[in-house]
């Protein structure tokens, strides 16, 4: 069984997560799933990628 994290954007569990910052004035690193990264990334000047987590 792969480990999973819950994506705070879609509230679903995933075994591959992307460590990103994407909110204005928020330096918190969030673990988002790929679908949510693709949703928050386009045109987002606050987006930073910090690595991939595999469960």
Binding region for Zn ion (CB under 5 A): 7, 9-10, 33, 36
Q: What is the largest CA-CA distance in the chain?
A: 37
**Dihedral of the alpha carbons of 8, 27, 52, 37, in degrees to the nearest 10:** 50
Q: Which residue shows structure tokens 């879609």?
A: 10
Report the nearest approach of Zn ion to the CB of residue 29 (Å).
15
Report the nearest approach of Zn ion to the CB of residue 30 (Å).
10
Q: Which is nearer to Zn ion, 35 or 46 (CB)?
A: 35
Q: Which is nearer to Zn ion, 9 or 41 (CB)?
A: 9
């Amino acid at each position: 069984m792969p480990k999973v994290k819950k994506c705070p954007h879609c509230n679903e569990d995933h075994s591959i997560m992307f460590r990103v910052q994407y909110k204005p004035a928020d330096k918190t690193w969030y673990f988002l799933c790929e679908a949510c990264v693709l949703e928050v990334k386009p045109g987002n000047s606050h987006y930073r990628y910090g690595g991939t987590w595999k469960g």
